[in-house]
Chain A
Amino acid sequence: MRMLMTGDEALARGAYEAGVHFASAYPGTPSTEILQNMTQYKEVFSEWAPNEKVSVEAAAGASIAGMRAMASMKHVGVNVAADALFTFAYTGVNGGMVLISADEPGMHSSQNEQDNRYYAQASKIPMLEPSDSQECIDMMKVAFEISEEFDTPVMIRITTRIAHSKSIVELKDRVEVPIREYVKDIRKNLPVPAVALGLRIRVEERMTKLAKYTDETPLNYIEKGGNIGVIASGKCVNFAKEVFGDSATYLKLGFTYPLPDKLLDEFYAQMGDATIYVIEENDPWLQHWVERRGYKCVGKPTIPPFGEMTPDVLRAAIHGKTLPTLDVPTDMSVPRPPILCSGCPHRGFFYELAKRKDTVIAGDIGCYTLGYIEPYNAIDYVICMSSAFSAAHGSQIAFDKAGNGKRAVGVLGDSTFFHMGLNGLIEVLYNGSKTICVVLDNRITGMTGGQEHPGTGKDIYGEPAHEMDIEAVCRALGAKNVTVVNPNNLSQVRNALDAAYAKDEPSVIITRWPCVLKPDMDEAVYEEFGRDLFKKKYFVEDAKCIGCKACMKVGCPSVSMRECPGANKLGMLAQIDATCVGCDVCAQVCPTKAIQQK
């Protein structure tokens, strides 16, 4: 069957067709949809792991026990999983194991632009880079074959434009692969130093074999064209073809670690004294390989060192100009950055927290990062996923030592708490700083579009699962001051903050209210949060509105001001549009009770 698929859908499909048995992931843009799509294939055991390290460990264990296994994550997730990866690279597999790293050149939804091709090199595992959705399917199959043939985990590296672009694919049937027999073999699977020394040698032997393979695999090839040379992999191949078309001869690389030295030599021999461009996003990784082989090429910095190498970027870099464009005035568009939704449960909390003086707020990765924007201006800094409590702890120690009286508050979400925020809380409690730890529990993984996690009571299929109670977890760790509040109730939030600020020891505040975009609203949710959840509407009673703009300080997209000369002293009236879902926060800040429920 012929159809359109995104790269993420195609990777799930390819793994399914390749007979994968076990798939684990932690959500992260642009990788999330890989596992979401895997749930349609009932032959595969799919799961959300609490974090990326756990997902790779689980996939490694499944592989050792004989399954074909995979783990997928965004680029920064591989940082979390690296410990598992680097040693699993030594022991190797039983059933094939594939790790998918989804990198984000251009940082559409990420905090950095790291180049994960270095992970394949550093952990000494083979890497494949598909350039469209059909290659995602095909390479997934090859990856499992390589994994089992060479006894190694394999990395498939994609980028956002592979993950979220659709192209035509041909579907085939699943090939059932039997789960291999598990045989205890500590000389392979138990890397104490005596064993690891042997494994280390084996890794080098494997690299030698793979170096031969990469020169012979059809995944790397020369595509004859004109007398310009282009070396590229992944999406950059397509971007380059848009610019050079048939005027170039391409060295198209699909198997990119180890790289094909002999094929490169052949390419340069064929191209004579032609100009050779190395087109790649992120770091000059291919370029360094070409230069190490002693060849000249045009790469970075002519090709920009950051961002996406879309055809216009390449045209500008190589030819000095893009296609002709219209003359667009720069003062006729206002930025439209993401904002907290109408009814977002983070709003009430940030409204209150932002008012606290002498407070430094460590944020985290999730929708609540948006607590940094106007009108809250709340968050001071963010390090990485699950860093809020541990980083706030360090800051609190520093403030105490400096004696400046500042308080450190760490703010993270429910999914992030289980990701590794929990470890940060252990740090705070064990090492005894008076850090205020806040879990914004919106009952779902919000930023990535609503995935279940260990606190929601459902698994990846939406089926009932063991539910972990964040309050109980915190108390079990020994936290004494734990308060659960409704973030839409500002006095509750205020009181909880007052109590935490008054203490000279750690406090935990858990705000509990569902994300307005939570996709799985069910009976239990309405039971707990009310039948009218997100169904209420508010309006402004014009006669009572004094135009003071107090309601604008909650930063809700449903609330705005309109000029209305004579309506009041300021000639302004607040208004609430139809997108209101009735969180009540603006009504609580109105000094004249002009905002009422409909």
Chain B
Amino acid sequence: MTKSILLVGVGGQGTILAGKILTTGLLTAGYDVKMSEIHGMSQRGGSVSTHVRYGDKVHSAVIEKGGADVLISFEQMEAMRWLAYLAPTGRAVINSQVILPQSVLTGQRTYPQGILEEIAGKVETTVLNATQEAAKIGNPRGQNVLLVGTVVKLLGLDDIDWKAIIAQNVRPQFVEMNQKAFEVGYSLV
């Protein structure tokens, strides 16, 4: 049975590292793993997505519409943008942080209100303020690994040594902070 995790956010939020930690962990557990991401212009504040799929045998690295078991959104509105990719039986995990796009900053558009309620009314939804929770333990940038902790708990991927995986994938001075963030994310659900 193939599982699909779609991580979405805004360029610079750390979705790529989150995807890397997830996939390397899943690899050690013996799964077939595939990952796909779209970057290129993403550093310039664009919408970004990382697709992670694992199971006995994975064909497509790309998650299709209606195919994600879990949608992890690092930003509110991005959850709405990618919602069609989430299976109606799946689960949304949303960081409540808001990042205003340029068109909102310049006053041409308004940031949509009521996103979290709208999504929660349609599908099983977990909302957490990962940015704030990560800031509490020292660095808001730990939000990405915090969300990895949350998804690990939700998917029951407890047999993997995530602390070791984190240590392999982040710079030495950030290992402890990220391991802590992971624990916080794990305990929030």
Binding site for B on A (CB under 8 A): 2-4, 29-30, 108-109, 132, 160-161, 164-168, 235, 238-239, 241-242, 308, 310-312, 315, 322-329, 331-341, 367, 370, 373-375, 447-449, 517, 549, 552, 555, 557, 559-561
A166 to B34 CA separation, bound complex (whole angstroms): 5
The distance from the CB of B45 to the nearest CB of chain A, in whole angstroms, is 5
Query: A interface, by DSSP: helix, strand, loop or mixed?
Result: loop
Residues of A near B187 (CB, < 8 A) are: none
A30 to B103 CA separation, bound complex (whole angstroms): 28
The listed residue with most A CB atoms (<10 A of its CB), out of B32, B87, B88, B105, is B105
Sort chain B's interface into a size bin. Answer: 35 or more
* 6 A-B contacts (beta carbon < 8 Å): A167-B34, A168-B32, A241-B59, A310-B62, A331-B112, A339-B44
A328 to B60 CA separation, bound complex (whole angstroms): 24
Residues of B near A108 (CB, < 8 A) are: 38, 40-41
Beta-carbon nearest neighbor of B19 in chain A: A166
Residues of B near A310 (CB, < 8 A) are: 60, 62, 64
Query: In the complex the two chains form, is A327's CB within 8 Å of B35's CB?
Result: no
Complex partner residue of B45 from A235, A315, A341, A447, CB under 8 angstroms: A341
A463 to B178 CA separation, bound complex (whole angstroms): 33
Query: In the complex the two chains form, is B60's CB within 8 Å of A332's CB?
Result: no
Complex partner residue of A242 from B47, B59, B77, B103, CB under 8 angstroms: B59
Residues of B near A109 (CB, < 8 A) are: 40-41
Complex partner residue of B83 from A323, A326, A334, CB under 8 angstroms: A326
Query: In the complex the two chains form, is B35's CB within 8 Å of A4's CB?
Result: yes
Residues of B near A311 (CB, < 8 A) are: 60, 62, 64, 67
A557 to B87 CA separation, bound complex (whole angstroms): 34
Residues of B near A447 (CB, < 8 A) are: 40-41
A30 to B115 CA separation, bound complex (whole angstroms): 33
Q: With A323-B66, A338-B46 in contact, is A164–B33 under 8 Å at CB?
A: no
Complex partner residue of A326 from B43, B45, B88, CB under 8 angstroms: B88
The distance from the CB of B61 to the nearest CB of chain A, in whole angstroms, is 4
Known interface pairs A108-B40, A328-B83; 11 further A-B residue pairs with C-beta atoms within 8 A, sorted by A's residue number: A167-B34, A167-B61, A168-B27, A168-B33, A235-B61, A241-B59, A310-B60, A322-B66, A326-B83, A329-B118, A336-B46
Task: Name the interface residues of B99-127: CB closer than 8 Å to any CB of A.
Answer: 100-112, 114-115, 118, 122-123
Query: In the complex the two chains form, is B60's CB within 8 Å of A323's CB?
Result: no
Query: In the complex the two chains form, is B45's CB within 8 Å of A165's CB?
Result: no
Query: In the complex the two chains form, is B103's CB within 8 Å of A333's CB?
Result: no
Query: In the complex the two chains form, is A160's CB within 8 Å of B38's CB?
Result: yes
Beta-carbon nearest neighbor of A242 in chain B: B60
B37 near A: Cβ within 8 Å? yes
Complex partner residue of A328 from B47, B67, B84, CB under 8 angstroms: B84
B129 near A: Cβ within 8 Å? no
Q: With A4-B27, A557-B45 in contact, is A312–B65 under 8 Å at CB?
A: yes
B97 near A: Cβ within 8 Å? no
A36 to B145 CA separation, bound complex (whole angstroms): 26
Query: In the complex the two chains form, is B44's CB within 8 Å of A4's CB?
Result: no
Residues of B near A323 (CB, < 8 A) are: 64-67, 87
Residues of A near B139 (CB, < 8 A) are: none
B132 near A: Cβ within 8 Å? no
Query: In the complex the two chains form, is A239's CB within 8 Å of B60's CB?
Result: yes
A323 to B23 CA separation, bound complex (whole angstroms): 25
Residues of B near A370 (CB, < 8 A) are: 44
The distance from the CB of B141 to the nearest CB of chain A, in whole angstroms, is 12
Query: In the complex the two chains form, is A517's CB within 8 Å of B43's CB?
Result: yes
B86 near A: Cβ within 8 Å? yes
